[in-house]
A and B are shown apart, each in its own frame.
Chain A
Amino acid sequence: MLLDYIKILLLVIISIGTVCVKSKTLSICKSCKIKQIKTAIKLSRSGDTIIINKGFYSEGLITIDKPISLIGKNNPVVDGGNQGHVFYIRSNNVNIKNLTIQNSGMSYVSDFSGIRIEQSKNCIFKNNKLINTTYAIYLSKVQGCIIEGNRIIGSAKKESSAGNGVHLFYSNAIKVKNNNIQGHRDGLYFEFAEDSFITYNNSHNNLRFGMHFMFSHNNTFNYNIFSDNPTGVAIMYSRNLKVHKNIFQRSQGNSSYGFLIKEITDSQFIENIFTQNTWGIFLNASNRNLFKKNTFQLNGWAAEVYSNSYDNKFIENNFLLNNFDVATNSRRNTSQFSSNYWDKYKGYDLNYDKKGDIPYRPVSIFSFWVSNFPELAILLNSPMTSFLEVAEHFFPAFTPGELKDTSPSMLVIKIKPLNNNINKF
């Protein structure tokens, strides 16, 4: 026990000593002795801090190969001059804070980035502004990084030439927090990224997806907002995800989904809000997932569940003001609905258990036709659709009879309102 204390004490003394003795701070500005970031990096040693003062620094590719910190003061601008990466990092423990990083190169061959880091550990990129970069922050084979409070504004025009806001490739244990991303192909993109936390980000107005990931297991994403993307979030081929308290809104258009879920298994989707999307969620070949206490509001379809998805549970969700609640592509039912609140439910509760006495069937015939022929959406609210509903009621031929909520809630499920906005930009 005593030995432990001595050990800790020694460690503290040594570390303080290291800081005092070894690390120094270099300052650069137009009128300073050191005028260039590159010179400062050359002069620095591991653990040093470089303060970059107000100014415009256009030095081409800046490579960082030792553990140093770059900290901006009074909003300095580092310009890549539309050539290659702006920062290329190949070292552990690199920090970049408070910089405006702009104008990376664009190439169809290389993924040019504002900050590109490879095969390193423990980086921190915080409170930077990344403007007009193809990829803003690109992590390749990195571990234990924090990406926080960055404002990322891309100017992507075409999917083929565009890159992503935060791009993770074979990277684990990354924390992506409170970033505001727009104007990229995908706001956030993960491929083979595991054990990461994605929280409080706001990804909006991107070209393709607010967030996209594949082959990325055991991730948590909470309190994010995905709005006005062609598709809010598309996730594929992953398992054990925790998706809590996110907002997916205004993904509108032909094949526009708030949340596209393909081959995802054993994951939890709890207390999210899906609103004003053409499709709220789209579930394809995904099994054993739990959807609980989510709010589906003002969507075209709240949920489309393909019958190749098995054993998904929808419990205590609120379905409010959607054009259609549930759609599916077959007459077979493979999921379970219970205790949800459906605003279209017209049943009664004679035994006062707050559950409707007759089951609710959320699939309508017009919804079936529109799922198969999306152009038919233009007939929404047409008196003709009532004819279809009546015909289907008497001669059911297309809708799955077994897809039903046998205990629909009579009351709106109480869910704490979300406040996902901590961004201050």
Chain B
Amino acid sequence: MLLNLKNIFNNTIIKVLQFEFYENLRNKWVFYYSGLFFILTYLIIRFGGAQPLQASGSLLSLVILLVPIFSLIFGSVSFIETLGFMELMAAQPVKRSSIYIGKCLGLSISLSMSFLLGMGLAIILSLSHSDKGLGTIIMLLVLGVMLSFVFVSFAFLLANLSNKKEIVLGLVLTIWFYFFILHDLIMFGVVVSFGDYPLEWLILTMSALNPIDLSRVIITLHMDLSSLMGASGALIYNFFGGAKGIVLGMSMLCLWFTAPLLIGIKIFNKRNL
């Protein structure tokens, strides 16, 4: 098992990851991203509501708005723009999958750090005296990191579907629009149209089919502001509630990272550079 893991996570991946990380560390957009999170988080906590609890609702909105769209666009653009270097790396005696995984992880880690730094710093600066809701905030940070990984992995997959930047960006925006709003609108439509039937399993499945929904539901259920969720039905409440729900939801998010990654590798392995 350990040997296997070492095989998969080999030296090449670590090296590519490292350099990808340094590369993005110096990217001004990654810096702006961090700054944007810092400023918005700070403003939300300072002026967003009388109590830190109210802030955590707004912070959730901020995370599910910014993290997916930025990870998608930044990830896909970065992939396309460094295709030249990937060709050069592929000319060395290394596996393509190692290059792909290394780059994906390196980019995800840089975006996660940037996010953590921006939001975390603002939280430390403005919430240091009240640890109420700290658990929620930490979970929000963890979910933000997971969303970064998920959507970078998605961005790479999409960037492998076409050689044309415009087409890739079109795909990226479509996917984002779908996950951000369309999916929920469909859910809303389904519930309103078929509300007379038992829908709990359907709703449960549908929310698991959207990584943004997954993180939103996990955090909402564990916020102190979650009393409403009881109305959604015992099944959903029990499924995502409690420590078990956090583990379950986060495992699903891991799947949402792994699946696009594996499909992406498969396409990349056959791609003409």
Contact = CB atoms under 8 A, between A and B. Distances in A.
B191 A376 contact: yes
Given A254-B233, A343-B54, A381-B57, A298 B227 contact: yes
B228 A377 contact: yes
Contacts of B217: 378
Contact of A323 (B184, B203, B228, B233): B228
Contacts of A387: 181, 185
B225 A298 contact: yes
A321 B53 CA distance: 8
A375 interface: yes
B268 interface: no
Nearest to B233: A254
Chief secondary structure at chain B's binding surface: helix
Interface string B218-230: 0010001101111
Interface in A235-274: 252-256
A373 interface: yes
Interface stretch (B84-92, B99-107, B192-200): B192-200
A299 B227 CA distance: 5
A375 B50 CA distance: 29
B228 A301 contact: yes
A324 interface: yes
Contact of A381 (B199, B216, B224): B216
A277 B49 CA distance: 21
B188 A278 contact: no
A186 B60 CA distance: 38
Interface centre among B53, B64, B188, B195 (most CB of A within 10 A): B188
A384 B228 contact: no
B122 interface: no
A387 B177 CA distance: 13
Contacts of B184: 379, 382-384
A370 B188 contact: no
Interface centre among A301, A373, A374 (most CB of B within 10 A): A373
A254 B203 CA distance: 15
Contacts of A388: 188
Interface residues of B, number: 39
A382 B228 contact: no
Interface in A323-345: 323-324, 343
Interface in A308-328: 320-324
B228 A373 contact: no
A253 B234 contact: yes
Contacts of A278: 227-231
B112 interface: no
A375 B217 CA distance: 13
Given A321-B54, A381-B60, A382-B213, A375 B227 contact: no
Contacts of B220: 380-381
B118 to A, nearest CB: 21
A300 B203 contact: no
A254 B64 contact: no
Contacts of A279: 231
Contacts of B216: 381-382
A380 B195 contact: no
B153 to A, nearest CB: 22
Interface in B19-54: 49-51, 53-54
B63 to A, nearest CB: 11
A276 interface: yes
B146 interface: no
B74 interface: no
Interface residues of A, number: 36
B203 A256 contact: no
Contact of B232 (A301, A322, A374): A374
Contacts of A380: 220, 228-229
A254 B230 contact: yes
B39 to A, nearest CB: 20
B187 interface: yes
A254 B232 contact: yes
B234 A383 contact: no
A320 B181 CA distance: 28
Interface in B232-250: 232-234, 236-237
A276 B229 CA distance: 11
B98 interface: no
B227 A277 contact: yes
B187 A379 contact: yes
Nearest to B54: A321
B61 interface: yes
A300 B231 contact: yes
A321 B54 CA distance: 7
Given A343-B54, A381-B60, A382-B216, A298 B224 contact: yes
A379 B184 CA distance: 7
A15 interface: no
B273 interface: no
Contacts of B237: 252-254
A372 interface: yes
A369 interface: yes
Contact of B231 (A322, A343, A370): A370
Contacts of B267: none
B224 A300 contact: no
B181 A383 contact: yes
Interface in B172-194: 180-181, 184-185, 187-188, 191-192
Given A253-B231, A378-B187, A380-B228, 17 more contacts: A252-B237, A254-B231, A255-B231, A277-B227, A278-B230, A298-B224, A300-B230, A322-B227, A323-B228, A374-B233, A375-B199, A375-B231, A377-B228, A378-B236, A381-B57, A382-B213, A383-B184
Interface of A: 252-256, 276-279, 298-301, 320-324, 343, 369-370, 372-384, 387-388
17 contacts: A278-B227, A278-B228, A300-B229, A321-B225, A375-B199, A375-B232, A376-B192, A377-B229, A380-B228, A382-B216, A383-B65, A383-B181, A383-B184, A384-B181, A384-B184, A387-B181, A388-B188
Give 4 nearest A-B pairs by CB, closest first: A300-B228, A278-B230, A384-B184, A252-B230
